[in-house]
Structure 1
Amino acid sequence: MQDSTIPLGRTAAAVRELLRTLTRRIIKPADHVVHGVKTVIAALLTWAVVAPWAPGNQPYLAVATAVLMVNASTVYQSVRKSAQSVATRIASLVLALATTRLLGPTMGAVAVIAVIAVLAGPRRTTDDRLQVAATAVIALTATATDPMGHLLSPVLQTLTGAAAGIAVNALVLPPLYLNESGSAVRDLAHALGALLQDMGAGLARRQLTSDAHAWLHQARNLDKRLTQAEEQVQQADESLRWNTRCVAHTRRKDMTYTDADAFQVLRGVSIQVRGIARTLTDSAHDDHADHHLGQQFLDRYAEALQLAAAAVQGFVQARPVADTANTSPRERLRRAIDGTLTWHHAMTDMIGQGRLTKPGAWHVYGSLMTDVERLLSDLDRGDVH
């Protein structure tokens, strides 16, 4: 009978990824249903409030505004977008009214609006300026026939729709992104740990020359995961602003702050991991034979990378696992850090005493040792939860 050669760590990672995929597939339809229900509530509420006093009983502008605001990604975004929408509406209608008074609904008025929109200055974005210009052009004829009526009604409709959209978004299951944030941070930690584990296993199997370029490629690809994790953490942090669910679940806010802190630590760790991969690649393909790393050092460094991999992955571990005798994640992290620090001191002494082979590679030894030391230092300082 032949034993399986699939590493247990990779099997566990595959199982975790499968569970996360299944969870996302279950949660996404539920999110769509919630958005649909909130949209219907906001639209009907706005129609009921605005229709009695809207010109011709047509509150379409108010309903459209409410639908946009209730579907904002966060409560904070709905408030910000509402303020921008109201300000843009007022600016465009005032511009239309002014040009109509001076030139009437003519081609000259359109040209003046376009010039003013272009020269509005850098304080407004291009999209805002174009929206102001487009709305002002559409409102030209209306403001010519009934200036004040067509100035006040759209503004009031926009205000009412924005208020309804914000209220529904804030009171009916306001969006939170804490699970997505935590998952992104854990995925980043597992990716960093997996690369450290692969480098350690490769060095132990003496495959530095054949695998070094692959490690460097993986390290560079970590930038994508960093960007994704940062976006998720920022969105989760923003979703807590003015969110009524946080009143009843204050602990979730603390969890998000923990995600943000963990991400900052992992960002520093990723820099060290990339440095290790780059140094190993340069050393493996250095034309100077006396600059190559000695096997004695590589064997011990392989152990250090595997300990560091356990430390990185344990840094974001939520709860003890069955095969660690219920040891807490913080205790496992502390053990990994202490074990690697002990190795670090021993290797430093060996380098200082000249007991390592390949003395011409002392600068490479120093770079690799420094990267591991900084990696562990980042984890140690971040171990506060």
Structure 2
Amino acid sequence: MTAYLRRRFHIVARALAWEAHAIWRSIRLAATEPGAERDTAVQSLKAAGAALLSWAVAGWWWDAPMALMAPWTALFLMQNSVYRSLLSALQQFTVVVLGTLLAAAAGVLTHHTMAAMALALPLTVLLGSYARFGTQGFAAPTAALFVLAYGSYTSADIAHRFLETLLGAAIGISMNALVLPPVHARRLLHLHRQLSLSSAELLHTVADGLADGYTEKEAQGWFDSARRLSDVTAGLREARRWSDESNRVNPGLRLRRRVEPAPPPTEWDLVWAGVTEHLSSVIRMLSDPAEGLSLGPDQTKALGTLLRAAGDACRLGTSSTQPTSRRPRDGHAHRDFRRSLARASAAHRRLTAACAWRRRASALAAGGLLTDTRRLLTALLTAMDTDALAPRSATPLSEQYAGG
């Protein structure tokens, strides 16, 4: 029994030590460099400041009877974007009004606190679960509890409650909009760069495996890595949503130093999601014996060259997410991008020629491989036009592909 308790103590101690280390790391990062930790610290301080200011106005200066409503509202309106603060303010004020009126009606009808709670709380909890109210729905039963617990449901009390809610909302929104308004672009830039680099690394790994000879287990590991790229694209969509939302109705955006570099356009996300999808299809052909793909030395060499050149092109796709001081000149990056795709295109033609005389039994698998690799290169050509590496090209996509 003593040995068991000792082991449990060591497990708990290690867990607490790990948690303490994680907390200290977050504090250090918040103090030393920009990032999610600093953003969280800033928003927390702003929420506390908005609540204190609301209390100073409503409780200290006005000496309002329901002063708690002002800091309570301001505290919960410090959202991750100005647009979200405005939306939450509208939702919260609506549910506070409805919860207060329901509680007041229940109090007038019953003249008994317990009976009024039994009547009002089920209705307000149900009201708070309405999807249109989002996370602010909890304010409906909370407002009802405040009304009934304090027994304050006269017309003057209700008017004070609404006025103080509006005061807290105004202070919370103003604080979020004018004091370091949140702009979410770092994660978007990070995922852009991660998607390009991870695709490039995977393509180079597969090319090396083709050159050195690979096992079925290695090919399955490549396919697992390709499928994990879909998690990055899913995170990219979420980060794009937050970035776009943080730029909406943000009056303080022009006052802040702009994020350097600016994120690529939305089309970038769609194009590179296609790149990863076609990359996954190519690797599935190599990893699944059921596909019936059998490559000879010439096909293997041509495919390896194609994938390596495609990986070089993917790596160049990270240039648009680097700061201007570290970014290659646009003309040079564009030229290198085209050269990589020209090598890949030439390798695809050699692969097509090498597969032309395949036996009928494997012709279908070879045709699928040629189609998937062609789609991969076409998606990369589209990425070249979409990426900030180069201006929009007026050359038709089919002519770009045929060109060397």
Verify same fold: TM over 0.5. yes
Aligned residue number for residue 260 of structure 1: 266
In structure 1, C-alpha distance between the alignment counterparts of 2:333 and 2:252, rounded to whole Å? 29
Which protein, 1 or 2, shows the higher relative CO under an 8 Å CA cutoff with sep ≥ 6? 1
> Contact 2:219/2:283 (CA < 8 Å) preserved in 1?
yes
3-state SS of the aligned residue for 1:328? helix
CA displacement at 1:366 relative to structure 2: 1.8
| Matching residue of 2:23 | none
Within the candidate set 218, 226, 237, 2:225 is matched to: 218
Paired amino acid for 1:188 = L
Deviation at 1:313? 2.0
Whichever residue aligns with residue 59 of structure 1, its letter is A
Give the letter for the 1:281 counterpart.
Answer: S
- 1:336 is aligned, of 333, 340, 343, to 340
Partner of 1:93: 100
Residues 110-160 of structure 1 show CA distances to partners (whole Å, capped at 9, x for unaligned) of 333244346658554686555423431441254x55411221222211111
On the 8 A contact 2:299/2:354 being kept in 1, the answer is: no
> In structure 1, what is the equivalent of residue 361 of structure 2?
360
Assess, with a 3 A threshold, how the Cα gap between structure 1 residues 335 and 246 changes in structure 2: closer, same or farther: farther
Q: CA deviation at 1:348?
A: 2.6
Alignment partner for residue 247 of structure 1, among 254, 259, 269? 254
Offset at residue 212 of structure 1 (A): 0.7
1:81 corresponds to: 88
Aligned equivalent of 1:140: 148
Rounded to whole Å, the distance in 2 between the matches of 1:154 and 1:326 is: 59
Distance 2:149 2:291 in 1: 78
Structure 1 window deviating more from structure 2 (325-334 vs 208-217): it is: 325-334
Written as runs of structure 1 = structure 2, the 5 A alignment for 1:62-77 is 62-70=70-78, 72-77=79-84
Q: Does 1:187 align with 2:191?
A: no
Which runs of structure 2 are paired with 1:84-123 in the superposition (5 Å)? 84-117=91-124, 120=127
Q: Which residue of 2 aligns with 1:13?
A: none
Distance verdict in 2 for CA 1:105–1:50, change over 3 Å: same
Answer yes or no: is 1:271 the counterpart of 2:277.
yes
Contact kept, 8 Å, 2:91 with 2:133, in 1: the verdict is: no
Q: Which residue of 2 aligns with 1:378?
A: 379
The residue number in structure 1 matching 2:214 is: 207
Stretch of structure 1 that moved more, 369-378 or 125-134: 125-134
Q: Separation in 2 of the partners of 1:176 and 1:366?
A: 47
Code of the aligned partner of 2:274: G
For 1:369 and 1:321, the matched residues in 2 are separated by 40
Unaligned stretches of 5+ in structure 2? 1-27, 389-404
Please tell me the residue identity of whatever aligns with 1:342: A
Is the contact between residue 83 and residue 246 of structure 2 (CA under 8 Å) also seen in structure 1?
yes
Secondary structure in 2 matching 1:139 = helix
Return the alpha-carbon distance in structure 2 between the equivalents of residues 229 and 114 of structure 1. 41
Distance in 2, Cα, partners of 1:347 & 1:239: 47
Question: Which range moved further: 80-89 or 367-376?
Answer: 367-376
Instruction: State, as a whole percentage, how many aligned pairs show the same letter.
Output: 25
Aligned twin of 1:53: 62
Aligned to 1:7: none
Inter-partner Cα distance in structure 1 for 2:219 and 2:118: 63
Instruction: Say whether 1:42 aligns with 2:89.
Output: no
Alpha carbon RMSD of aligned pairs, Å?
Answer: 3.3
Shift, 1:316, TM fit: 2.7
Superposed CA deviations along residues 166-224 of structure 1, whole A, max 9, x for unmatched, are: 11111111111222211111112111111111111111112153411111111222232
Shift of 1:311: 1.3
SS at match of 1:43: helix
Q: Secondary structure at the match of 1:27?
A: coil
